[in-house]
Structure 1
Amino acid sequence: MVLPPRPTFVAILGHNGAGKTTLLRVLTGQLPYQGSVRLGGPEELRTLRGPALARRLGYLPQRGTLEFGLPVRELVVMGRYRHHGLLGTYGPADYARADAALEVVGIAQLANQDFRQLSGGEQQLVWLAQLSLQAAPLYLLDEPTQQLDVYYRQRVFELITSWVEVDKRTVLCTTHDLDSLPGLPGYLLNLSRPRPVLVPISPEAVRTEYNFLARKGPRG
């Protein structure tokens, strides 16, 4: 798969077991692979580690959890972790970035609340705000709207569109939420097809992929 040279959004589709999450884990260096993968540079992905990889991409796995109480603002500022290293500390500039990120996702009023007390949709916006602080050219999102209601699904995709069109980032997003895709700029990539290719998003293209996935089971 070769992405367009300009920043873009790619919705990665497919049945359960088609390899959507596996693809993201390969791109984040969590799984070995055969062949060649390059992320905006000449270096092979398998040679990138730590800060070198963090400069290329940010990753949001499926619904994160937190086992202890932490104010939202403190959780969001941790998105600057890879910019400071293990022994680094967060300064006023980092907290200003965190406040701006919370403002962008629309939950600045929740900055001092305990993350565990938020709704599922609010928590997901917190994770997205944290991800945005990594300021990488490529963001990988694994089912970011899973189990969210219509309001929060819309908010998530509005934020993704802003990352692409305003911040000039490329976003790869696995999703089963085909209902939210018509009208978005970008591409579809259906991993359940024998030869997956990038297809420009349109209402007709979304309907075609929906019918394909509904007609064919995970094993075809």
Structure 2
Amino acid sequence: MIVEVNNLVAGYEQRVLIRNLSFSIAAPAFVAIIGHNGAGKTTFFKAFQQQVPYQGNICAQQQDLKTIPNPAIQGLLSYLPQKNSVSFPIKVHDLVVMGLFRKKRFFENYTSEDYAVAAQVLEKLELLHLIEHDFTTLSGGEQQLIWLAQLTLQDASICLLDEPTQQLDVYYKKRVFNLLQDWVQQNGKTILCITHDLLNLLPLKGYLLNLSAPAPALEPITPENVMKHQVFLESHRQPL
């Protein structure tokens, strides 16, 4: 199993958001993590990255994450946060090539070979025409695809994505989800993706994990399960 979660309890001093969560995933896999705002989705990712205290165990590739100093450096985990912004001008190729940070020593410069690899990824994602553009001038959908291009270069076994299609139009939502499915099916990656876009999951293969459910458990993505959870989330509110 590439991911194993056993009796996870996580939250904050005044409020426990996740109680006794257990599941396991065999690689490769796509897991859509759904639920109301405040259900503990982002908290779960923070626990994965050792950013909040928790009880229980989270294991990746049979290693307890509490015992691994920096999973990102070791190529085990990559993470795309819900809000990922750049406030200064930077060329697209300079941003994407930073995905190779794991292979560089401290302060080591990126080489022409590194930039060639970045260009290959952009070409594969049909983004090569943006390579010399200033990232800050791109549309929200284009920017998100560029972040995903950078994530591709990190080449981690497990990718955590926090609402990667938030505020994107229907065209870019479809492109992002198609890209994530390709990562699983063609590159053998395991994707854990927080999303509110349940209807965009309908054509995908993978699993659902509804953290708002009374007893969250992995369920296969099927039209029936997607619609069942859509109705559940629309008809129940998250307990305070």
TM-score bracket for the superposition, by shorter chain length: over 0.9
Say whether residues 1:130 and 2:145 are aligned partners: no
Query: Secondary structure, in 3 states, of the residue corresponding to 1:157?
Result: helix
- Structure 1 residue corresponding to 2:135, chosen from 115, 131, 143: 115
Q: In structure 2, what is the equivalent of residue 5 of structure 1?
A: 26
Amino acid at match of 2:165: T
* Candidates 100, 104, 112, aligned match of 1:92: 112
Task: Check conservation: 2:34, 2:194, Cα contact below 8 A.
Answer: yes
Kindly report the root-mean-square deviation, in angstroms, between the aligned alpha carbons of the 2 structures.
1.4
Q: Relative to structure 1, is the Cα distance of residues 195 and 101 closer, same or farther in structure 2, using a 3 angstrom cutoff?
A: same
Give the CA deviation at 1:9: 0.1
Contact 1:51 1:82 in 2 (8 A): no
Distance (whole Å) between structure 2 residues aligned to residue 54 and residue 182 of structure 1: 34
Cα-to-partner distance string for 1:127-182 (whole Å, 9 max, x where unaligned): 00001111011000000000000000000001000000000000000000011000
Aligned length: 219
Whole-angstrom distance in 1 between the partners of 2:234 and 2:71:
41
Deviation, structure 1 residue 46: 1.5
Per-residue CA deviation, residues 56-95 of structure 1 (Å, 9 max, x unaligned), is 1110001311111000000000011122132222123321
* 1:53 Cα deviation from its structure 2 partner: 5.2
Question: In structure 2, which of residues 180, 184, 191 is the aligned counterpart of residue 160 of structure 1?
Answer: 180
TM-score, normalised relative to structure 2: 0.87
Q: What is the TM-score when the length of structure 1 is the normalising length? A: 0.95
Match of 2:161, SS state, is strand
Output the CA distance in 1 between the equivalents of 2:38 and 2:121.
34
- Alpha-carbon distance change, 21 to 51 in structure 1, aligned in 2, over 3 angstroms: closer
Please say if residues 30 and 181 of structure 2, whose CA atoms lie closer than 8 Å, have aligned partners that are also in contact: yes
Percent identity, aligned pairs only, is 49
AA at the equivalent of 2:146 = V
Gaps of 5+ in 2: 1-21
Equivalent position SS for 1:35 = strand
| Higher normalized contact order (CA 8 Å, seq sep 6+, divided by chain length) | 1
Match of 2:7 in 1: none
| In 2: Cα distance, 1:37 partner to 1:4 partner | 12
Shift of residue 52 of structure 1?
Answer: 6.3
Equivalent residue letter for 2:91? P
Q: Residue 58 of structure 2 aligns with which residue?
A: 37
More helix by share: 1
Higher mean displacement: 132-141 or 29-38:
29-38
Please report how far the alpha carbon of residue 51 of structure 1 lies from its aligned counterpart in structure 2 after TM superposition: 5.9
Question: 2: distance between equivalents of 1:67 and 1:34?
Answer: 37
Give the one of 119, 125, 129 matched to 1:105: 125
Shift in CA distance, 52/146, structure 1 to aligned 2, threshold 3 Å? closer
Note the C-alpha offset of 1:183: 1.6
Q: Of the candidates 157, 176, 180, which is equivalent to residue 200 of structure 2?
A: 180
Q: Which residue of 2 aligns with 1:23?
A: 44
Shift of 1:106: 1.8
Return the alpha-carbon distance in structure 2 between the equivalents of residues 183 and 44 of structure 1.
33
Match of 2:4 in 1: none
Amino acid across the alignment from 2:201: L
Q: Which runs of 5+ in 1 are unaligned?
A: none
Moved more, 163-172 or 32-41: 32-41
Find the partner of 2:216 among 182, 189, 196.
196
Q: Name the structure 2 match of 1:142.
A: 162
